Amino acid sequence: MDNIPPRVNSRSNRFMDVLRADIRARGYAYATERTYLHWIRRFIYFHDKRHPRDLGSAEIEAFLNHLAVSANASPSTQRTALNALMFLYSKHFGLPAETLTFQRAKPTRQLPTVLSHEEVKQILSCMTGTPLLMVELLYGSGLRLQECLNLRVKDIDFALRTIIVRQGKGDKDRSTLLPTSVQDRLQAQVQKVLALHQQDMADGFGEVYLPHALERKYPNAATSPGWQFLFPSSRLAPDPRSGVIRRHHIHHTGLRKHLRAAVLKAGIHKPVKTHTFRHSFATRLLQKGYDIRTIQKLLGHRDVTTTEIYTHVLGTGPQVVISPADG
């Protein structure tokens, strides 16, 4: 349950506890909270555990220079660290923003790894059971791994053949495709989840984690069949905030382990990760002639320029050149 925000001790005077409470009060996503705390902790350790109030712009610049020069950080990594420190000083401490002078990390343009449709089929042929169904959704619906793990029974609309992604990246909801090829097995998975939930209820459990304040707003939702995770864990575990014994979703490491074994067995030599199937979803749709705006909406990208990178992967952008050897 490592994606459930732990409770904050409101009585604690420890700096990181106070900072965490401030981030939580401002409504930031838990992923952002963890990222900011990570980089602020790195900043403190870089300066020999001195308190951030005793540090200033010179120390921020030294840390950002270290990331660019010594740590070979990417521009996005350096920018994330800068955002975390700006939050710390501008919002948490309430200090006026200062102009910083530091060496920017060298930008590199890296195209995403994508798989051909045949390569995807090779990998899927080496998988079975729930891991197979999950990877098919990553490829067939363009889901991020955490979006797939967070799916609830109620998020699957078989009639409209859509999947509702709740609180995706940027805390936004969106709808995407429900592949016809997995519909029957997905219905079987729902029945399996409902049977497991019935057994948990009979055993005196059956509650599921609810985000934000939904547990207070809808007190019966935690035991509702529709709110159960589509891919539940095989074991019950205590909620890290309340200690209540609950059944959470499958842990991401389990799926990644199955995927690594399947890629090896399929003889694919590309660096395949779960996110590779999302990239492959986008390039496959481009190959089939769908317009970039439709793909942007299905992927949930805020800016179409993020989606346009897939045109460069396929060589269908403005830089497309046909080799002389090909006529």
**Catalytic site includes residue 45:** no
Regarding the domain with residue range 15-92, which homologous superfamily does it belong to in the CATH classification? Tyrosine recombinase, N-terminal domain (1.10.150.130)
Catalytic residue from among 258, 278, 279, 284: 278
For the question of residue 312 being annotated catalytic, the response is: no
pLDDT at res. 142: 94
Catalytic residue list contains 275? yes
User: Of the residues 169, 252, 297, 312, which is catalytic?
Assistant: 169
Q: Map the chain to HEC letters.
A: CCCCCCCCCCCCCCHHHHHHHHHHHCCCCHHHHHHHHHHHHHHHHHCCCCCHHHCCHHHHHHHHHHHHHCCCCCHHHHHHHHHHHHHHHHHHCCCCCCCCCCCCCCCCCCCCCCCCHHHHHHHHCCCCHHHHHHHHHHHHHCCCHHHHHCCEHHHEECCCCEEEECCCCCCCCEEEECCHHHHHHHHHHHHHHHHHHHHHHHCCCCCCCCCCCHHHHCCCHHHCHHHCECCECCCCEECCCCCCEECCECCHHHHHHHHHHHHHHHCCCCCCCHHHHHHHHHHHHHHCCCCHHHHHHHHCCCCHHHHCHHHHHHCCCCCCCCCHHHC
Domain layout of the chain by residue ranges: 15-92, 109-316
**pLDDT tens-digit series, residues 224-260:** 999 999 999 999 988 877 788 999 999 999 999 999 9
**pTM score of the predicted model:** 0.79
Superfamily for domain range 109-316: Intergrase catalytic core (1.10.443.10)
List the catalytic residue out of 42, 47, 275, 297: 275
Q: Is 249 a catalytic residue?
A: no
pLDDT tens, residue by residue, 86-140: 999 999 999 998 889 999 988 777 788 999 999 999 999 999 999 999 999 999 9
